Structure 1
């Protein structure tokens, strides 16, 4: 996507207050047309509040929200060209699957025949045509979720809002539905705005992610940028696993920074804007970007003692303690066991970073 892509939803300095409590603090972001956009953050961070403001279920205290250039703040929910898929699906138990999908179309004034035709098309899209005559209670959780999705897509909304729709599914079905949702978004070309607290889910599905915490936007970017280039300690710690080391910045050049840990250990990393010499900040290093060896393999190799190895299926996580007392984790792919040595608890080893692995954070 290029920068001149049309903006579907433009949130400008949006604030939401409930009495003295501020749930959202001047959020500004532009969600692009035909984008799978995710609002990601822990419970209570404001992501669902923002989604409900876009839908019209919550008023905007300050600021404005535009949909394809038109301000929608004064429009009631039923007049906004958006639809919402909720966590609990909200299907009518007495109606068949086909009737559930077509019900909203009839309420919009379509004839029964036209609504049935469109409903059948949507069921084909979500691969549920064979279940058209069943009642919701006769379907699995994943199938009910797809019925709710088909119903929301049937009126062809400009934007589809999804409020943690996969949270009630088991792990295996949830992963399958992540791929299915992304496929449907591409097939329909509709802008999806997805709310989740699951980092892996966000990384898997999204074109871009807005990471939120305590009502504030922490970082906005593509999944790889969010993961590899976290802006601050919250993002680094919340997205995936990372090692956070307290360091003092000794030198800063145009591109590089030299940092020291307690005990005289030194590391180098890319410099980041706003970090100055003498600053006490944190360094983020992803566990999979570290390598264990018997001897030091570079200037940034750190000596450590192995505490334990944890087998987690695809990987082996090795917990170590550095000479200065800091604990650190190294992850080794299970397929690399033949080429990379696994050290036993109590053994000494050297930990070396891959080039570009360390990321200075603006705390």
Structure 2
């Protein structure tokens, strides 16, 4: 498969501040690719550089093999959907969608027909004559998508487009966005700080922090095999334990947990010494005392579908355990001693 975008050693500085530091990554054609990270990590800066709204200080940006780093934004075959939808309030929905086509010089019948196709795709055909103010937030968001897709860009850039919506609407729009990407075959590059959005929609994710790409992979790769403490902690919930490494062989390591219990785990490092171990809360199971590691229950928190059980290992190390309510047989009482079973392959030694 061809690459839609190649970012090659791209650096962006603002005076004495470096927002991006020699970032390199490739995004495949027809891929839903997400730039994920906290505020200030550089993800929106990178998106704006692809769009041409920010200059490249150093490095190259290639679109299907062509270097576009110095190309004006209007000459790039990309469109952007922003957090604020920026619809023209005085124009009807269909005129908003057709606006970009008019700027490209398409005749009225052609742009009306294509705008109609786009509205049908986002399920808003019956709203064509309304003004943006007569639409809900989710409907306005779909109009902005239709407008961006109408000129048939090679790449669609989405800068946190769901952040202004309420939770239930955001969840529904995730599925609609993913379906739109599959239906159109256009490469989507999506910026978000919301890990659930990234995991739900993406073919691959680039996790960013402080101007660097920390890890690139599928949602499963990022969640199950994080490379370092930042990625493990940023994606989902995890228990981070400082452990001693007893031995490393290939992609497996034996480590000593606080309290002296030895386990085997996968590893992202081949350096001995002390490192952090990541254990996802749902990969721990409560078992009868004597059948696993021993722990004391500190607190049980009801979360609807799940229970969060906070425990302490011998030696005082805290852990959190997630149990589905449907699977539980008995809720442990605070203060009780229980056994903990760690699933095979559930722990990951990190390269700090």
- TM-score bracket, normalised by the shorter chain, equals over 0.9
Specify the alignment match of 2:236 in structure 1: 240
CA distance in 2, matches of 1:126, 1:220: 30
Structure 1 residues without counterparts, runs of 5 or longer: none
Q: How does 1:1-363 map to 2 (within 5 A)?
A: 5-276=1-272, 279-297=273-291, 301-338=292-329, 341-363=330-352
CA distance in 2, matches of 1:328, 1:134: 54
Alpha-carbon distance, 1:269 to partner = 1.3
Deviations 1:216-249 (A, max 9, x none): 0000000000000000000000000000011010
Alpha-carbon distance, 1:312 to partner = 1.1
Alpha-carbon distance, 1:267 to partner = 2.3
CA contact (8 A) 1:253 1:271 kept: no
CA contact (8 A) 2:297 2:337 kept: yes
CA contact (8 A) 1:93 1:137 kept: yes
- The residue matched to 1:87 in structure 2 has which SS? coil
- The residue matched to 2:290 in structure 1 has which SS? coil
CA distance in 1, matches of 2:249, 2:27: 36
- The residue matched to 2:333 in structure 1 has which SS? coil
**TM-score normalised to the size of structure 1?**
0.95
CA distance in 2, matches of 1:10, 1:272: 26
Alpha-carbon distance, 1:255 to partner = 4.5
Alpha-carbon distance, 1:250 to partner = 1.4
CA distance in 2, matches of 1:296, 1:138: 64
Alpha-carbon distance, 1:293 to partner = 1.3
- The residue matched to 1:44 in structure 2 has which SS? coil
CA distance in 2, matches of 1:210, 1:270: 21
- The residue matched to 1:25 in structure 2 has which SS? strand
- The residue matched to 2:138 in structure 1 has which SS? helix
CA distance in 2, matches of 1:53, 1:192: 15
Alpha-carbon distance, 1:273 to partner = 4.0
Alpha-carbon distance, 1:111 to partner = 1.3
Deviations 1:2-34 (A, max 9, x none): xxx100000000000001110001110000000
Deviations 1:31-75 (A, max 9, x none): 000000000000000000000000000011111000000000121
Alpha-carbon distance, 1:295 to partner = 2.3
| Aligned residues: CA RMSD | 1.0
Q: Provide closer, same or farther for how the CA distance between residues 254 and 105 of structure 1 changes in structure 2, counting only shifts above 3 A.
A: closer
